[in-house]
Structure 1
Amino acid sequence: MDDDALAEDLRQVIGDLVRAVRAADTMPPGEAAILGHLDRGGPRTTADLAHLRGVTHQSAAKSVKELLGDDLVRAEPHPHDGRKLLLHITDLGRARLQRERAQRAASLDTAIRDTLSSDEQRRLQECVSLLARLTSHLTGR
């Protein structure tokens, strides 16, 4: 197998896996992504979130409006620019995000246990560090 084929196969399989795991989600992906960014990166503006997600400001604002309405995020005036709002994840939002993450992990765990032998599970565990190294190289982190 040539390098290009490996890269394309890996891209395809990882994309399919991510979509399959997300099928268990109970909230829209845009909202879950925003909660994830606020949880990992701290307070952000709607424009920041749109940029991080690679979506339009309007799309991010729609998700933010839903999250505000459900008390999963709260807004406060930006300390350096009074025209902007700084969004924070709430305790309720953090709990909801944690439930989403746990549900994804449980779905994947069940698939791993139901599908892979003990030896295959060990081999998959070895692949996780390789995927982490690839991710680190691609993101620079």
Structure 2
Amino acid sequence: MDDISLAEDLRQVIGELVRAVRAADTMPSGEAALLGHLDRGGPQTTADLAHLRGVSHQAAAKSAKGLLGDGLVRAEPHPTDGRKLLLHITDAGRVRLQRERAQRADWLNTAIGTALDSDEQRRLRHCVPLLARLTTHITGQ
């Protein structure tokens, strides 16, 4: 297998895995993604969140509106630009996000236990640091 084939196979399989794991979600993926960014990065504007997600401002605003309506985020005036609002995750938002993350992890854990034998699970565990290092290299973080 050449390097390009490995890269393409990895891209395809990881994409399919991510989409499959999202099947366990109980909230729209855009809303879950915004909550995740607010949880990890702190308060942000809708424009900032759109940029982080690689979606249009309108798509991010639609997700933010749903989260605001559900009390999962709150908005307050931007401290240096009165035309903007900063979105903050609420305690209810953190609880909901944790529930979503736990569901995904539980669902994936069940799949790993069912589909892979103990040797395959051990080998998969050894791949996680490699994937993390690859991600860090790609994102520059």
Q: TM-score, normalised by structure 2?
A: 0.99
Q: Which residue of 2 aligns with 1:33?
A: 33
- What is the aligned partner in structure 2 of residue 60 from structure 1? 60
Query: What residue ranges of structure 1 are gaps of 5+ in the alignment?
Result: none
Instruction: Output one character per residue of 1:20-63: Cα deviation in whole Å (capped at 9) or x when no partner.
Output: 00011000000000000000000000010011111111111110
Q: Distance in 1 between matches of 2:41 and 2:130?
A: 25
Aligned to 2:24, the other structure's residue is in SS state coil
Which blocks of at least 5 consecutive residues in structure 2 are unaligned? none
Structure 1 moving runs of 4+ over 6 Å: none
Q: CA RMSD in A?
A: 0.4
- Counterpart secondary structure, 1:64: helix
Q: What is the aligned-residue identity percentage? A: 81
Deviations 1:63-94 (A, max 9, x none): 00000000000000000001100000000000
* 1:11-90 correspondence to structure 2 within 5 Å: 11-90=11-90
- CA offsets 1:93-119 (integer angstroms, 9 cap, x no match): 000000000000000000000111111
Report the number of matched residues: 141
Q: TM-score, normalising length from structure 1?
A: 0.99
